[in-house]
């Protein structure tokens, strides 16, 4: 019988073949959804992984190094910068 912590869908089943030739079931955490911009598009350059693993990445691997990197997509960023420039004039 499966233990209670493995019955929920928070963990996914991964079938792994052992060196002895047997197939065993390992339970691994699911990946979170993609990070999204305010317009709804997926943010490119932002890893989709468990927060504990993202914490171990270097700063340059966590998000793009452009303005609003990791918060806005490139097209929304461009609009935001143009709007700031127009407002300052």
**What CA dihedral angle connects 22, 25, 30 and 31, to 10 degrees?**
-10
Is 89 found in the same domain as 75?
yes
Is 75 found in the same domain as 59?
yes
pLDDT in tens, 10-45: 889 999 999 999 999 999 989 999 999 999 999 999
The pLDDT score that the predictor gives to residue 7 is 83
Is 37 found in the same domain as 23?
no
Is 44 found in the same domain as 65?
yes
pLDDT in tens, 62-86: 999 999 999 999 999 999 999 999 9
- Placement of tokens 């914490």 in the chain: 55
Select from 3, 7, 27 the least CA-distant residue to 15.
Answer: 27
Is 49 found in the same domain as 70?
yes
Is 73 found in the same domain as 41?
yes
Number of domains in the chain: 2
Residue range of the domain that includes 23: 1-30
Q: Tokens for 69?
A: 């990197």
Put residue 44 in one of left, alpha, beta given phi > 0 → left and psi -120 to 50 → alpha: beta
């Amino acid at each position: 019988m499966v233990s209670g912590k493995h019955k929920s869908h928070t963990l996914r089943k991964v079938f792994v073949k052992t060196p002895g030739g047997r197939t065993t079931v390992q339970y691994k955490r699911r990946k979170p959804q993609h990070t999204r911009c305010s317009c709804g598009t997926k943010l490119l350059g932002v890893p989709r992984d468990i927060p504990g693993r993202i914490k171990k990445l270097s700063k340059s691997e966590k998000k793009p190094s452009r303005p609003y990197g990791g918060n806005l997509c490139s097209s929304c960023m461009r609009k935001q910068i143009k709007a700031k420039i127009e407002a300052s004039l």
